[in-house]
Amino acid sequence: MTQSIPRPSNLQNLNPEQELRAEVLAAVQRYYDYKFQAKAFSPGQTYVPVSGKVFDEQELFKLVDSSLDFWLTTGRYAAEFERRFAEWIGVKHCLLVNSGSSANLVALSALTSPKLGDKQLKPGDEVITVAAGFPTTVNPIFQNQLVPVFLDVQLGTYDLDVSQLEAALSAKTRAIMVAHTLGNPFHLKAVMEFAEKHDLWVIEDNCDAVGSLYDGKRTGTFGHLSTVSFYPAHHMTMGEGGAVLTSDARLRKIVESFRDWGRDCWCAPGVDNTCNKRFGWQLGTLPFGYDHKYTYSHVGYNLKMTDMQAAVGCAQLDKLPGFIEQRRQNFEFLSAQLQDLQDVLILPQATEKAEPSWFGYLLVVKEDAPFSRNELVQHLEANRIGTRLLFGGNLVRQPLYEGLNYRVVGELTNSDRVMQGAFWIGLYPGLSEEMLRYTTATIRDFCRSR
């Protein structure tokens, strides 16, 4: 748990710095009480967002406490968060980065490391993924000169159609990189068995699924690597931020290298000579004893997180179990309220053996419905209810991939259905039952009026 911060009501036996910090935090408490007072919901007037941050004074306390150190890069809060989050999710290593998209880039880039020997991914190798999703699950494949192989999704779960895995296989297939769509775990048993059979790497894009369970085990713990996002829309937030997770010590070191300029050294910022032979290495054609802090083994980046962001994350992590439970309750409430509309809407369903930590509530307007997705979405938005599409729809139709090298399995029929008929509404913990009732009543009134 996070070390407690002295409260202004308990100033005895504090040194001068602690006393000053307590005075600052007393002002923070007053500011929070003034600035972030709860506001009454007014149907049709108050906007019902699809997602958002949920926080209290604890996030502000830790954010300000961190800022008072003026340690602007990765520091004590980042180290605490990495340790606690890895333990919570069930892996050995958590490495913070500046976004979920960067997490995906670093995770896949790590598999191109020459340190992996025969398992290294090389330009032209193929990576199996899905067509209906978010671009930054796929972009790192292109960015590393690899070839995406797009599979379709299943209606209802909107996850990878595992029946297409064998058809996707070729002599060049080396990895699988797939997201758990809107928090609904893909069929991990089938994917992991296929990967083991064909000696493939697996990266779980877990950015929408923190806290989801598959067969009683948390997602993000099945693949060789997994990724998380801490953008405000996600299950917990640091404003920006993400993480790469693994239980493989070799992959951990490679991920850290790609995140930290590509350097071979693994010392934390401001720390020297962790290896006890900083000037005793012989690597490449560098002269013996060349400073290990300035020795590079990968074409890397600088994608670290600030400690102020991590401080917010430490407070959010205390709330995460409650956030997850509320998301599940809100999903069940929405499903109960919309059951009678299944003649015109396809409601979402969990994958077999899965207990999702839902990111959003996905609906698909049936093809024979007397209205279109766009008409329903425009009606909701006009009534101050936020909506989102299933990200990029069928990604192969997106202009950014025109002319790029990829392969498609089948007709991507369901991905096109998603692109034409799907949208999602919010169920995050910041939405009250009154907001959810207003949302479902608005959907029902529209559907029945047609």
Catalytic positions:
234
Which of 322, 319, 305 lies closest to 238 in space, CA to CA?
305
Q: Return all residues near 183 (Cβ < 8 A) that are at least 6 apart.
A: 208, 209, 212, 327, 356, 357, 358, 359, 360
Q: What token pair was written down for 276?
A: 């006890």
Q: Return all residues near 13 (Cβ < 8 A) that are at least 6 apart.
A: none
How far apart CA 10 and CA 22 sit, in angstroms, is 9
How far apart CA 38 and CA 36 sit, in angstroms, is 6
Strand-pairing partners, residue 214, are 217, 354
CA dihedral 435, 437, 440, 443 (to 10 degrees): -80
Q: Return all residues near 98 (Cβ < 8 A) that are at least 6 apart.
A: 240, 241, 242, 303, 304, 305
Phi, psi of 224 (to 5 degrees): -65, -35
Residue 422, amino acid = A
Strands 201-205 and 126-130, by their bridges, are unpaired
Contact 371, 450 (CB under 8 A): yes
Q: Return all residues near 338 (Cβ < 8 A) that are at least 6 apart.
A: 345, 347, 363, 440, 443, 444
How far apart CA 120 and CA 113 sit, in angstroms, is 6
Query: Residue written as tokens 């299943």?
Result: 154
Which of 54, 57, 180 lies closest to 129 in space, CA to CA?
180
Which of 110, 109, 77 lies closest to 96 in space, CA to CA?
77
How far apart CA 443 and CA 370 sit, in angstroms, is 14
